[in-house]
Chains A and B, each alone.
Chain A
Amino acid sequence: MKVSSKRRFVVLAVFGVIGLIFIISLFRLQVLDPTYKQYATNNVLREVTQYPARGLVFDRNGKLLVYNKTAYDLLITPREVTKFDTTLFCNLLDISIEDLDVGIKKATKYSPYKPSILIKQISPERFAVLKEQLYKFQGFRTQSRTLREYSTTAAAHALGYVGEVSNRDIKKDKYYKSGDYIGVSGIEKTYEKQLRGVKGVKKNLVDVHNRLQGSYRDGKEDIPAQIGKNITSTLDLDLQLYAEQLFQNKKGSVVAIEPATGEVLAIVSAPTYDPGLLVGRVRGKNYSKLLADTLKPLFNRSLQAKYPPGSTFKPMNVLIGLQEHAINTNSRFTCSGKDSRPIRCTHNHVTPTNVVQAIRESCNAFLWNTFRAIINNSKTSAEGFNAWHDYVASFGVGQNISSDFSNGLKGDLPTEADYNKIYGKGHWNALTVRSLAIGQGELGVTPLQMANYGAILANRGYYFKPHIIKEIENDTISQSFKIKHEVQIDKKYFEPVIEGMSQTVHNTNLVYTSKIPKIEMCGKTGTVENNHGSDHSVFVAFAPRENPEIAIFVYVENGVWGSRYAAPMASLMVERYLTDSISTRRKYIEKRMIDANLLNPIQPK
């Protein structure tokens, strides 16, 4: 026991040594070491988020479409607020005392210590006045944010808009914090990651009175914000503006594509709206107003409207017939005009017609015979129909071809199963589904898909997915835009069809309204039956005939005849795009188109 009891000194020594080490360390830390004295004058650290400016958007010729303007948020840290002149405060910010009370209560509930946004998006003019008075208000500070600004009112649907992140967005991506902005639709949504940049953090030292004392560790730990990448879109601002002007007081859609690349030159959904309405503090109010509008300006017809294509679909059926050897270039079918069965032909023309004439005259009898031959080319109607279906699908109909558009739809292309369900297996044939011959019936095609179809005709058999982005600064665009999609039609079958489309423009009444001087445009009109008002006016075209530079699809709701509005409007847009102007003797057509008001669904025949 004697030995053991001496060991108490070892234990006591251990205690003593640790105590001594602590005293020495604390003396060094608290008395000698000046590093921690830098913070000794009541300095505290404050992190400020640095918001990057969003990337700019340009048109294909480098014209600015979307840029940024600065706005300021006013933040409140409730614990730091001392008594202040609320009347002056409310006057400076143009808010009511009640709003202020509610705002302060909300912020306190969130956190008494952390700053939260009290008032959003104060304009630079108001901010300038506020800044001089801000020293009177303890516990308030400002941070700058950028808002979108648009150089014109054009392309609202394509550009999309920016809004505050939802709780879903925050959950999905940890980058976002409450109050951040995110692209909600259009290019802003699809290219959000590239446009938004990366937020940064600046660490400041402030004293207890919230006065800035300088940056923490000379900014060594600051993370600078990275500005968003600029984007060059494929849109041609001039053509886009012109198309929107032509479409004023009308409903419908235009999509124009450069056939050689799939680049979208113009995309209009009418009626459209001013994208500036969905920016800043007025966004919520304007959004509900637009949502309530019976003309549905927020509905993006060019990507989401499922229109029956009508007669514009006829070239495709003829191509399929030729490829399937159901008909050949010498085939002729008799037309009995209004007495034609099972589909009447309303067009007065020569008979019998060959391929070129049939397309020129839009002969329903020829198309019915062609369609029947395609369906009956196989052992059963179903097999024949499936062959037809696969050809049509290869044109992108019923497929999602909207590569970098945020909300494109697939449209409707009926399948064998659909008809089996309606009529019963084996209980339907070419006659039952005859409407498909003339582009009616169960077909639903979006304007984007129809313009792409125009590009396929222009290219004689292939397309690149239509897309809206040409270049991203310091980045690459998707490789999928460069993949060539071939349709299942041999190139040689296109010539007679294209000849027919050329004659449509030059050898019918269209020559008076839609022939462009010195440019050979090939097109096909369509008049889509409508039970709720006047028929719709449709036109698909490309120009020039050799080495086409533009393919276009125009859909004018309640436009009565394909030749009345859609074709002349398309011809004007093509002329404007290819020659930068409208020839003098066509000015009166331009005026008639712009002035036409088709918002009433019933139009005189």
Chain B
Amino acid sequence: MAKRNNIWANIDWITILLFMLLVFMGWLNIYAAAYNEEFQSIFDTSQRYGKQLIWIGAAFVFAFTILIIDTNFYVFFSYILYGILIFLLILVLFVGKEINGARSWFTIGSFGFQPSEFMKFATALVLARYMSTFGFKIHKLKSLGIIAAIIFTPVIFILLQNDTGSALVYFAFVLVLYREGLSGIVLFVGSLIAILFVLALVISPLTLYTVLTGVTLLVFLIFSTKLVQFGRVFAAYLISTTLFFVLNLFVEKEYSFADILVAGSILGSVVILLISLQKRLRNYSIISLVFLGSIMFTLSVDYGFENFLESHHQARINELLGIESDLLGAGYNVNQSKIAIGSGGIWGKGYLKGTQTKFDFVPEQSTDFIFCTVGEEWGFAGTSVVIALFLFLLMRLIWLAERQRSGFSRIYGYSVAVILFFHFMVNIGMTIGLMPVIGIPLPFFSYGGSSLWSFTILLFIFIRLDASRFDQF
């Protein structure tokens, strides 16, 4: 039993190795991004790489401290930590400093501290604690309410700080909930909404509604047992659309064909829904309901996009979806970032040889766009290694989470994995133009004390929990 009590023997050194590798590679690239012939000493603390070296040293101290603290500490103090951080989130709204339009930083001298970064692990702890209580059932209304409260309280305050990127991270928890038994329908509806949202903004209404109708008819066909039944469904849509088409000839105002198609689809779906409810055809009811919902949603997207989103978010989404390309405005960062990465080729230009990055073409070079430096100087070889390392870390974390005996450790482990995953997906996606420009850092890579420390703490609490997985609690 000596082995069980010795945490050093049970620590997952592979994860720690991955962590060290990512931090080291991150620092190398920060050095390259800020590289300057006039300040060549790596210990020069007036330069970013010098400062990052201090942050890294401190991060190791944090990691070590976390490993020697008893696991019960994290369980028992989770609510208190959560409360303190919520308090700081509110406090920062009043005394915080505004950087890049977001009021999310405390500054003491030249040192900055961003409470929203640390909120992530506190939320993960509380979520794990609550969901691992005895007799917890995820589908009870009360449980869902409390989970929503745990996740959305920080989101509201972070949104108030005008830091949309950090707030979006919390949506990653849906994967944790899914793992813990949340109905797959939520995931399905979530993805459907995301896809429809993008399609509604990108393609013309006529194409969108034609595609939607086509897909729906196809689904009807698959679920139809008799061809006659499908024929009736088809007729219902055909007749209602024709009806509106004829009606349109008698009205003074001329409606577009897309409008007629929408009206016809809605009427047809309502008719099918009513008949199938009466005849207790469950599949048909669901399909027509989903179709109806999808149309309503896409109709409201255009309206909502124009009326509720702020102009710089509109611009960034427009840019990403290729609707408007403004190379000097919102598209500038992404374009320059793609030039830098794309110019790297297979093997890159060599360490410290990047030109796009040297001439300050890519803004936020050492923070949010650090992946550009990797792409330019290390090429495809470098970027695929980084992606492979991240994927390896994420899979390792899931594997570790699944081997936990306690629900608390497993849920926390999943939370760590999905938070890291969300940052990884959004940050790299942004630098290669697959995601809108949302300013969130690449874990362990990006310059900055707050983000490095928060990811270190997040990860090492799980490593500590995992090391004592044989203990009972």
Contacts and interface: CB of A to CB of B under 8 A. Distances in A.
Contacts of B424: 18
A27 B355 contact: no
Given A29-B342, A30-B375, A30-B379, A8 B178 contact: no
B338 interface: yes
B359 A44 contact: yes
Contact of B179 (A4, A25, A42): A4
A11 B179 contact: yes
A15 B391 contact: yes
Contacts of A42: 349, 355
Interface in B374-414: 375, 379-380, 383-384, 387-388, 390-391, 394-395, 398, 402, 414
A22 B359 contact: no
A304 to B, nearest CB: 46
A113 B360 CA distance: 9
Contacts, number: 100
B428 A22 contact: yes
A291 interface: no
Contacts of B341: 26, 29-30, 36
B244 interface: no
B441 to A, nearest CB: 17
Interface string A14-46: 111011011101110111010111011011110
B428 to A, nearest CB: 6
A208 B355 contact: yes
A548 B333 CA distance: 68
Interface residues of B, number: 44
B346 interface: yes
Interface string A85-126: 000000000000000000000000000110000000000000
B246 interface: no
Interface string B336-376: 00110111111001000001100111000000000000010
Contacts of A33: 342
Interface string B174-194: 010011110000000000000
A23 B424 CA distance: 13
A5 interface: yes
Interface of B: 38, 175, 178-181, 327, 338-339, 341-346, 349, 355-356, 359-361, 375, 379-380, 383-384, 387-388, 390-391, 394-395, 398, 402, 414, 417-418, 421, 424-425, 428-429, 432, 434
Contacts of A29: 338, 341-342, 432
Nearest to B399: A8
- Sort A-B residue pairs by CB-CB distance and give the 8 closest, nearest first: A36-B342, A30-B380, A40-B343, A19-B391, A42-B355, A29-B342, A26-B383, A39-B343
Given A31-B380, A113-B359, A16 B391 contact: yes
Nearest to B401: A8
A221 interface: yes
A30 B355 contact: no
Given A11-B178, A44-B355, A22 B432 contact: yes
Q: How many interface residues does chain A have, given as a range?
A: 35 or more
Contact of B345 (A7, A10, A19, A37): A37
Given A22-B429, A25-B432, A26-B341, A31 B398 contact: no
A128 interface: no
Contacts of B181: 3-4
B335 to A, nearest CB: 10
Given A8-B398, A25-B434, A39 B425 contact: no
Nearest to B178: A7
A35 to B, nearest CB: 7
Contacts of B339: 36, 39
Nearest to A43: B355
Contacts of A39: 339, 342-343, 356
B380 A10 contact: no
A30 B379 CA distance: 7
A40 B356 CA distance: 9
13 contacts: A19-B391, A22-B428, A26-B387, A29-B338, A30-B341, A31-B346, A31-B380, A36-B341, A36-B342, A37-B345, A39-B342, A40-B343, A221-B327
A483 interface: no
A282 interface: no
A25 to B, nearest CB: 5
Nearest to B349: A42
Given A14-B175, A40-B343, 9 more contacts: A11-B398, A11-B418, A15-B398, A18-B429, A25-B434, A26-B384, A30-B379, A36-B339, A44-B361
From A19, A23, A31, name the one whose CB has the most chain B CB atoms within 10 angstroms.
A19
Contact of A18 (B342, B349, B395, B425): B425
A30 B179 contact: no
A374 to B, nearest CB: 66
Interface in A39-96: 39-40, 42-45
A548 B398 CA distance: 100
Contacts of A35: 342
A22 B387 contact: yes
A422 interface: no
Given A5-B402, A29-B432, A39-B342, A45 B380 contact: no
A15 B398 CA distance: 10
Nearest to B429: A22
Contacts of B429: 18, 22
Interface in A368-383: none
B180 A26 contact: no
A7 B398 CA distance: 11
Contacts of B359: 44, 113
B377 to A, nearest CB: 12
Nearest to B380: A30
Nearest to B181: A4
Contacts of B175: 11, 14
Contacts of A221: 327
A36 B434 contact: no
From B360, B361, B395, B414, name the one whose CB has the most chain A CB atoms within 10 angstroms.
B395
B135 to A, nearest CB: 14
